[in-house]
């Protein structure tokens, strides 16, 4: 198993010894060992003494799920929903004497439905997109290849507007990755914390509090390991998680070394008068952990005033007047004029605000569907390293490399337009593992424009000298 599966720190001594050898040798070729893989076939001759899951998940950062292995089954716990799942190797006996309420599945599963977009990219990253045979929220599905599947009817579109058809379809699935409103039937797995994070439940009370469950950003990426257990793809789950984790930490260390005065960043939103807001407008400054850490890891200062909710634009503007960079999370505000109008900024006063003068007003809608569904709620949830690279590029122009193209953060102050994701953008197969769009960090930000991005997860490679730099800075 490659030594970088569980992060750099675990193998620090190994790397330091290897670095010393490198300094003596003129060249060194690192050949990774083969990882153990769990079977994709059902067992034909059962042996109770056989360990049918030689590749196991080792949860490093996530705190909201846990996995316990037995010879022919694994217990997967979702602590957010208080659900327990017993996943047993197909062809072997189903386990008994399980905790009350445990849902039992034979794995690997073959037919999957998703009721929230944030599950989609986790499955595509694992290379099991072809096993998604039913989808909900069609207009919000950003994945080009899943859009293509919906268009050619290889993927079934389901909707609560036709409850009977939806129920019949879901009953045929091996597993349904559901949302807060999903049925709690025997084949449904509720992973709704991502729906809460994504904002698809637009009027969910205390939505930011749901994000607070992530104490570290890379906890979100590690949920790919949770999904991997249903497909016996623990080896891939470990690789993907470790790859994102290592790249994120490399970007974080590199950002800390950028010279210059740290910009002040504020994540804000505007709520228009409506039945959901008691017909009263409000302006909010977010102080949740996820954004706080993301900003700090980008080498910037997170703006967290004592007062974070305002009932007048005057008070809100007074609070953010000296902020250098704004990330506007208002759901509907596609243009700069919309943002300024929502904030209550006029042409006469615009120049008095740093973020206006800096032309540094960003929104999270850089990639959209034709209907306006945001990829921020789909792909950004897993690719934490790519999100960090976007924030670095927003707060430090010219970094992480000259000409870097942000994925999700769109600068409305400079008139940037969203990239529209359509089925035509699907250039490969839905079975091809979804690649990480993040900038491939090599220990610093000296890379030139056009440097290649992170490739397929199983092939994330860094040079030995990059590893050396990362270890020394750890």
Question: 258-287, pLDDT tens digit by residue?
Answer: 999 999 999 999 999 988 888 999 999 999
Q: Does the pLDDT of residue 41 top 60, yes or no?
A: yes
**Dihedral sign of CA atoms 383, 387, 388, 393 in order:** positive
pLDDT top residue among 120 and 210: 120
The count of other CB atoms within 10 Å of the CB of residue 458 is 16
Per-residue pLDDT at 444:
82
Per-residue pLDDT at 35:
56
Contact 78, 64 (CB under 8 A): yes
**Whole-number Å distance between alpha carbons of 217 and 288:** 11
Write down the mean pLDDT value for the chain. 82
CA-derived radius of gyration, the chain: 23
**Whole-number Å distance between alpha carbons of 411 and 413:** 5
pLDDT top residue among 101 and 7: 101
Confidence of residue 464 (pLDDT cuts 50, 70, 90): very low
**Whole-number Å distance between alpha carbons of 241 and 22:** 27
Residues 67-77: tens digit of each pLDDT: 999 999 999 99
Per-residue pLDDT at 80:
82
Per-residue pLDDT at 298:
97
Confidence of residue 448 (pLDDT cuts 50, 70, 90): very low
Per-residue pLDDT at 217:
64
Per-residue pLDDT at 155:
95
Confidence of residue 238 (pLDDT cuts 50, 70, 90): very high
Task: Find all residues with CB under 8 Å of 423, minimum gap 6, and list them.
Answer: 144, 145, 147, 148, 150, 151
Contact 44, 91 (CB under 8 A): yes
Per-residue pLDDT at 216:
56
Per-residue pLDDT at 160:
84
* pLDDT-above-90 percentage for the chain: 65
Confidence of residue 180 (pLDDT cuts 50, 70, 90): low
Per-residue pLDDT at 181:
53
Q: Does the pLDDT of residue 14 top 50, yes or no?
A: no
Per-residue pLDDT at 18:
37
Sheet holding 175-178, edge to edge: 156-157, 132-135, 112-114, 175-178, 188-190
**Dihedral sign of CA atoms 390, 394, 396, 397 in order:** positive
Contact 378, 328 (CB under 8 A): no
Residues 350-395: tens digit of each pLDDT: 999 999 999 999 999 999 999 999 999 999 999 999 999 999 999 9
**Whole-number Å distance between alpha carbons of 277 and 173:** 39
Picking from 110, 102, 93, the residue whose alpha carbon sits closest to that of residue 175 is 110
Q: Does the pLDDT of residue 166 top 50, yes or no?
A: yes
Per-residue pLDDT at 179:
64
**Dihedral sign of CA atoms 112, 118, 122, 127 in order:** positive
**Lowest-confidence segment of 171-185, 273-287, 428-442 by average pLDDT:** 171-185
Q: Which is it for strands 156-157 and 410-411: parallel, antiparallel or unpaired?
A: unpaired
Q: What average pLDDT does this structure show over 452-471?
A: 33
Picking from 251, 184, 242, 192, the residue whose alpha carbon sits closest to that of residue 473 is 251
Confidence of residue 62 (pLDDT cuts 50, 70, 90): confident
Contact 104, 210 (CB under 8 A): no
**Lowest-confidence segment of 15-19, 329-333, 337-341 by average pLDDT:** 15-19
pLDDT top residue among 239 and 200: 239
Confidence of residue 446 (pLDDT cuts 50, 70, 90): low
Q: Which CATH class is domain 258-473?
A: alpha beta
**Whole-number Å distance between alpha carbons of 123 and 173:** 15
Per-residue pLDDT at 58:
87
Q: What average pLDDT does this structure show over 305-315?
A: 97
Q: Which is it for strands 156-157 and 175-178: parallel, antiparallel or unpaired?
A: unpaired
């Amino acid at each position: 198993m490659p030594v970088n599966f569980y992060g750099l720190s675990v193998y620090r001594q190994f790397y330091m010894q290897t670095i010393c050898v490198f300094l003596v040798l003129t060249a060194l070729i690192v050949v990774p060992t083969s990882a153990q893989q769990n079977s994709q076939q059902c067992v034909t001759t059962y042996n109770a003494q056989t360990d049918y899951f030689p590749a196991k998940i080792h949860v490093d950062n996530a705190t909201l799920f846990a996995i316990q292995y037995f010879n022919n089954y694994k217990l997967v716990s979702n602590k957010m929903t208080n659900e327990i799942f017993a996943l047993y190797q197909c062809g072997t006996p189903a386990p008994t004497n399980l905790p009350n309420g445990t849902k039992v599945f034979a794995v690997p599963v073959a037919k999957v439905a998703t009721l929230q977009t944030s599950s989609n990219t986790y499955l595509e990253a694992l290379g099991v997109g072809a096993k998604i045979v039913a989808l909900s929220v069609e207009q919000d599905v950003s994945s080009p290849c899943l859009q293509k599947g919906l268009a050619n009817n290889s993927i079934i579109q389901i909707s609560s507007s036709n409850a009977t058809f939806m129920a019949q379809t879901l009953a045929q699935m091996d597993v349904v990755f559901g949302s807060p409103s999903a049925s709690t039937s025997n084949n449904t797995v509720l992973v709704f914390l991502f729906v809460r994070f994504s904002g698809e439940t637009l009027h969910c009370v205390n939505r930011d509090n749901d994000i607070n469950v992530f104490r570290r950003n890379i906890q979100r990426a590690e949920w790919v390991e949770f999904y991997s257990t249903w497909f016996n793809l623990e080896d891939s789950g470990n690789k993907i998680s470790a790859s994102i984790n290592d790249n994120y930490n490399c970007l974080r260390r590199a950002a800390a070394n950028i010279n210059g005065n740290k910009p002040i960043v504020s994540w804000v939103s505007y709520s228009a008068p409506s039945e959901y807001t008691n017909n009263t407008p409000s302006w909010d400054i977010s102080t949740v952990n996820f954004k706080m850490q993301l900003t700090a890891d980008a080498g910037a200062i997170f703006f967290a005033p004592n007062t974070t909710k305002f009932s007048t634009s005057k008070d809100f503007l007074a609070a953010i007047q000296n902020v250098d960079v704004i990330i506007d999370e208002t759901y509907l505000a596609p243009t700069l004029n919309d943002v300024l109008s929502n904030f209550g900024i006029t042409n006469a006063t615009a120049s008095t605000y740093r973020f206006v003068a800096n032309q540094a007003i960003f929104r999270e809608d850089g990639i959209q569907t034709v209907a306006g569904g945001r990829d921020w709620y789909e792909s950004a949830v897993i690719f934490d390293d790519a999100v960090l690279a976007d924030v670095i590029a927003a707060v430090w122009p010219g970094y992480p490399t000259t000409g870097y193209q942000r994925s999700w953060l769109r600068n409305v102050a400079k008139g940037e337009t969203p990239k529209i994701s359509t089925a035509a953008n699907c250039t490969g197969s839905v079975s091809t593992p979804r690649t990480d769009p993040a900038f491939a960090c090599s220990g610093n930000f000296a890379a030139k424009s056009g440097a290649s991005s992170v490739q397929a997860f199983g092939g994330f490679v860094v040079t030995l000298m990059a590893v050396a730099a990362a270890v020394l800075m750890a």
